[in-house]
Amino acid sequence: MTLVNDAAPAVRSAGRKFRAFTAKHLDELTRRAGLGPAERLATRAVATVLPFRTNSYVLEELIDWSAAPDDPIYRLVFPLPDMLPADDVARLSDLLSRQAPKAEIEAAAHAVRMRLNPHPAGQMELNIPSFGDGKIPGLQHKYDETVLYFPKQGQTCHAYCTYCFRWAQFVGEPDLKMAGDDTAQLRDYILAHPEVTSILFTGGDAMIMGEPVLRRYIEPLLELEQLESIRIGTKSLAYWPQKFVTDPDAEAMLRLFEQVGEAGKNLAFMAHFTHPRELEPLVVTEAVRRIRDTGAIIRTQAPLIRTINDDPAVWNSMWRTQTRLGMVPYYMFVERDTGPQDYFAVPLAQAYEVFRTAYKDVAGLSRTVRGPSMSATPGKVCVDGVLELHGQKVFVLHFIQCRDSDLVGKPFFAKYDPEAVWLDDLKPAFTDTFPWQ
């Protein structure tokens, strides 16, 4: 393993201490982006509903301030006035401008949040199993083989994405948050379900945790013979790659990753990259190398987001760079039906064309990527194409994962709709119902 002190000078220069910026810094930061007083107020209004957090690395290394607010990375992390209905923004702006009581502002923001489908795809109703005397906080079990766990100390991020489908985790409402810290209970649940072979630590971002805390969650699982893989969903390589290079616990964290492999488990680092610029800094290349040297596999994924990466050239560039660095392109997702979906969503027909156009010009090693994929209530649905069948234009789809495992891999058809952005917008073709209905 390469020691921190052996890192190249350009990488060491990125080793500044982490500094977070939150909603209290918005007026100052949006002024830097050239926004006028009314636009800055509207941005603050949106931030009463949706979370805002970024850091010095994102601000200074990734955002092109000369292009803000149209810069894609700026739009990736900063609230935008048109992300919410105009009436809601006007109401919240009025409350802020007249310095209404905090409770009144929060009540108005809560009302808006509840109209944004904070927990899509049946997460709270269908994904949380009963076990023992009740439900296990922070645990979801949607597909037979995979358990999701939301570690309590990992329910924030180095920076928040404006499109995040987990936005409800970060708004400070306990009833909307999923989190757990009982590692013994997690271990007992997995042992009681021998079909479980993989666990995904999600949130939030598990890599916001220090090594001693993450170790408390991972070590008890290494003795479970049934577990084949441990996954960590993270945006840290894009938003704070110093975590693996210059942070005080970088070496200890990498050693923990090695221990997973030594225990006979596959450590899958599920890295979120939304735009090629996130891959450009040298510290990212170094962080990727160091993680891969532990034996971990880095798989990459991101949603297709209007105004940020809805261009085949963006995805083609990302996949090629990721493959060159030794990462494995894994998923292109469709923006979920939650939060500011109306602002960010790309129609499925367009999403398929973006995917196909980007996919056809990459080498075979990059064609591990799947998509466009919707993580919908019945399962992960992939749009395979658009065809004319029996005189009817249709979408061809299949389940990559499904609550009903018998449906995995079986194609089905939906009537072509150029405006559809989600599974619920589609109607079955050649039959009255979809296979899962």
Please name the residue ranges forming H helices in 294-347: 312-324, 341-344
Question: Is 140 in a helix, a strand, or coil?
Answer: strand
Q: What is the pLDDT of residue 117?
A: 84
pLDDT single digits (tens) 367-402: 999 999 999 999 999 999 999 999 999 999 999 999
Mean pLDDT calculated for residue range 49-59: 96
Whether the CB-CB separation of 320 and 362 falls below 8 Å is answered with yes
d(CA 290, CA 311): 31
Q: What is the pLDDT of residue 124?
A: 65
- Using the predicted structure, report yes or no on whether residue 7 has a pLDDT greater than 60: no
d(CA 347, CA 111): 28
Mean pLDDT calculated for residue range 104-121: 89
Phi-psi region of 204 (alpha: psi -120 to 50; beta: other; left: phi over 0): left
Band of the pLDDT at 4, cuts 50, 70, 90?
A: very low
In Å, what is the CA distance from 257 to each residue of 95, 105, 293?
A: 48, 44, 10
Cβ contacts of 232 within 8 Å, gap of 6 or more:
200, 201, 206, 207, 267, 268, 269, 270
In Å, what is the CA distance from 376 to each residue of 165, 307, 309, 329, 388?
A: 12, 23, 21, 21, 25
Residue 335 per-residue DSSP state: P
Cβ contacts of 49 within 8 Å, gap of 6 or more:
84, 88, 92, 109, 112, 113, 116, 171
pLDDT single digits (tens) 156-170: 999 999 999 888 888
Q: 22 - beta bridge partners? A: 53
Of the chain, the percentage scoring pLDDT greater than 90 comes to 86
Take residue 146 and report the two structure tokens written for it: 């995979």
Q: What is the pLDDT of residue 167?
A: 84
Whether the CB-CB separation of 328 and 299 falls below 8 Å is answered with yes
Closest CA to 304 of 203, 374, 359: 374
- Using the predicted structure, report yes or no on whether residue 5 has a pLDDT greater than 50: no
pLDDT single digits (tens) 191-242: 999 999 999 999 899 999 999 999 999 999 999 999 999 999 999 999 999 9
d(CA 313, CA 129): 42
Whether the CB-CB separation of 399 and 410 falls below 8 Å is answered with yes
Take residue 44 and report the two structure tokens written for it: 């603050």
Q: What is the pLDDT of residue 374?
A: 95
For tokens 């990992």, the residue is 154
User: CB-based burial of residue 237 (10 Å sphere; 0-12 exposed, 13-18 middle, 19+ buried)?
Assistant: buried
For tokens 């495992």, the residue is 405
Closest CA to 272 of 41, 77, 411, 142: 77
User: For all residues of the chain together, what is the average pLDDT?
Assistant: 93
Q: Is the pTM of this model over 0.85?
A: yes
d(CA 133, CA 237): 39
Q: What is the pLDDT of residue 11?
A: 54
R_g (Cα) of the chain, nearest Å: 22
Band of the pLDDT at 173, cuts 50, 70, 90?
A: confident
Tell me how crowded residue 383 is: count the other CB atoms within 10 A of its CB.
25
Mean pLDDT calculated for residue range 406-427: 96
What the chain holds in terms of domains, given with CATH numbers, is: 4-114 (no CATH), 123-345 (3.20.20.70)
The pairing of strands 146-149 and 139-143 is: antiparallel
Of 123 and 292, more confident: 292
pLDDT single digits (tens) 289-328: 999 999 999 999 999 999 999 999 999 999 999 999 999 9
Q: What is the pLDDT of residue 272?
A: 97
Q: What is the pLDDT of residue 1?
A: 41
Band of the pLDDT at 171, cuts 50, 70, 90?
A: confident
Mean pLDDT calculated for residue range 91-108: 96
Mean pLDDT calculated for residue range 333-359: 94
- Using the predicted structure, report yes or no on whether residue 6 has a pLDDT greater than 70: no
For tokens 């964290």, the residue is 253
Tell me how crowded residue 197 is: count the other CB atoms within 10 A of its CB.
16
